[in-house]
A = this chain, B = another copy of it.
Amino acid sequence: MNTPPLYRQLANHYLDAIRSGTLKAGERFPSIRLMMEKHAVSLSTAVQVCRQLENYGVLEARPRSGNFIRRPDTAPAATPIAPPLDSGVYVGIHELVSSVIKASQRANIKVNFASAYCAPELYPLKILQDHMLKALRHDPHLLGAPGSACGNSALRNILARRALTAKTNLTAERIVITNGATEAINLALRAVTQPGDTVAVESPTFYGLLQILESLGLRVLEVPTTAHAGINLFALEQLLRGSVRIQALIVIPNLQNPLGSIMPDANKARLVQLCADHETVLIEDDTYGDLVDSDQPLSTLKHWDVRDNVIYCASLNKTLAPGIRLGWISAGKWHERVEMLKHTQSRGCEALSQLAVSALMKTPSYERYLRRLRKTLTQQRQQMSAAIIRYFPQGTRVTSPQGGTLLWIELPGQHSSMVFFHEALKAGIQISPGDIFSNDKRFNHFVRIGCGAPYSAKIDEALATLGRLLKNQS
């Protein structure tokens, strides 16, 4: 890797000073003017240093007072966050998640805010189905042979080529097509851990990841993560230096589920470096990145991975079609092991979906579709967010993610998300209670709300109902 730019060198310099205690929480940070003088840097560089430290969560700008050193960030509001658990514990989340799912299945759901998917009408289902029809008509022996071990090579080529635009170098021959990101993450964990090992995750994080860890008999450490900048690198570093050996870390760097955070590039670079330094395998889940507001692709952790320590996983079922179970994994030096595990776990995926998806993704209409989808989602999130602020009790805090379908909402006062969840179900409304996004109770006053569906009177009414339920609770 090249020398880091000047602003990043300076930021690291101050970061060291904060780490070592030379600069303490609550202290005033050197002013922009002072930095310019002391380090002979431009205004823009000095500003970038401060922004960088803000991203790290160690600097706080107070209006009209200047910058102050702060404790690692909390998310999304200023509630004190529980410290990371001091030793790896076995996850015990599955029972809770499964009781939540079963309760929802029994209920008569009229409005579902628990889904992370977009509404079906937002996906290019017709085009995909047409490509399937074409593939079926074109090759009468399509179902006559098993799918190839690592997946359709045309699809792997397209995925590798698309990754390039996000400055990520995936070799097509070293991509394995999987049954969704779920199987990809499974394979990554099976490749680099043994049952009983400790794996770190963001906190809060997607409950599906916690379930995978539980099913593989892994211990879990939760690392505080903010809607502002993603995983807290300070807390992580502390953990990595601690007595518990952390075998792997799973991070959703772009549009984290449920926070919606996008890690700043500098944090991504630092995270990759930290993990490599501590020989902790970094597993990247990039399932949501393509749903970012901007048409400029986000960088991946894999992009910063000069030491082949990142396993990249992703999926198409959030961006392209929920009914298509296609994910992929690029496992670098663990490729052969992942290929073996995929073969022994489920063999190659069926060919038809892969052919249809390849046919769609190789045309420019795929990018046009994504651009349209992004605009739609931006609008839907804004409308939902405004309604939540309007209907929910005062003191409710809502994230404002730069993409995706999810809002993470902190309820004020003593509201319990599980009580809220069950009351909402009775009213025919499904939400995701914060409790399932962590292995302890630290998010019991949060809920996740999906904004995948176009705003409507029915949705508006449902949000008003939720607001009423909360107001009656307090």
**Chain A interfacial positions (CB closer than 8 Å to B):** 94, 98, 117, 120-121, 123, 125-126, 128-129, 132-133, 136-137, 140-147, 178-180, 182-183, 186, 190, 194-195, 208, 211-212, 214-215, 217, 317, 321-325, 340-341, 343-353
Which B residues are in CB contact (< 8 Å) with A343? 211
Contact (Cβ within 8 A) A323 B215: no
Count of chain copies: 2
Q: Quick one: given A133-B133, A215-B340, are A179 and B140 in contact (CB under 8 Å)?
A: no
Say whether chain A's binding surface is mostly helix, strand, loop, or mixed: helix
Contact (Cβ within 8 A) A180 B347: yes
Contact (Cβ within 8 A) A346 B322: no
Which B residues are in CB contact (< 8 Å) with A324? 143, 350
Q: Quick one: given A136-B132, A350-B350, are A323 and B143 in contact (CB under 8 Å)?
A: yes
Contact (Cβ within 8 A) A144 B132: no
Which B residues are in CB contact (< 8 Å) with A214? 344
Q: Quick one: given A341-B215, A347-B325, are A140 and B126 in contact (CB under 8 Å)?
A: yes
Which B residues are in CB contact (< 8 Å) with A142? 125, 129, 323
| Interchain Cβ contacts under 8 Å between A and B, 24 examples | A125-B144, A129-B140, A129-B142, A132-B136, A133-B133, A133-B136, A142-B323, A143-B321, A143-B322, A144-B322, A147-B325, A179-B179, A179-B346, A179-B349, A183-B345, A186-B344, A214-B344, A215-B340, A215-B345, A325-B346, A325-B347, A325-B348, A345-B345, A346-B346
Provide the bound-state CA to CA distance between A179 and B186, in Å. Answer: 15
Q: How far is the CB of A106 from chain B (nearest CB, A)?
A: 14
Contact of A132 among B132, B180, B208, B345 (CB under 8 A): B132
Which B residues are in CB contact (< 8 Å) with A137? 133
Contact (Cβ within 8 A) B322 A350: no
Q: How far is the CB of A149 from chain B (nearest CB, A)?
A: 8
Closest to A122 in B: B144
Which B residues are in CB contact (< 8 Å) with A121? 144
Q: How far is the CB of A72 from chain B (nearest CB, A)?
A: 31
Contact of A146 among B178, B211, B322 (CB under 8 A): B322
**For A183, A186, A322, A346, which residue has the most chain B Cβ atoms within 10 angstroms?**
A346
Q: How far is the CB of A27 from chain B (nearest CB, A)?
A: 46
Contact (Cβ within 8 A) B123 A345: no
Q: How far is the CB of A75 from chain B (nearest CB, A)?
A: 26
Provide the bound-state CA to CA distance between A456 and B18, in Å. Answer: 79
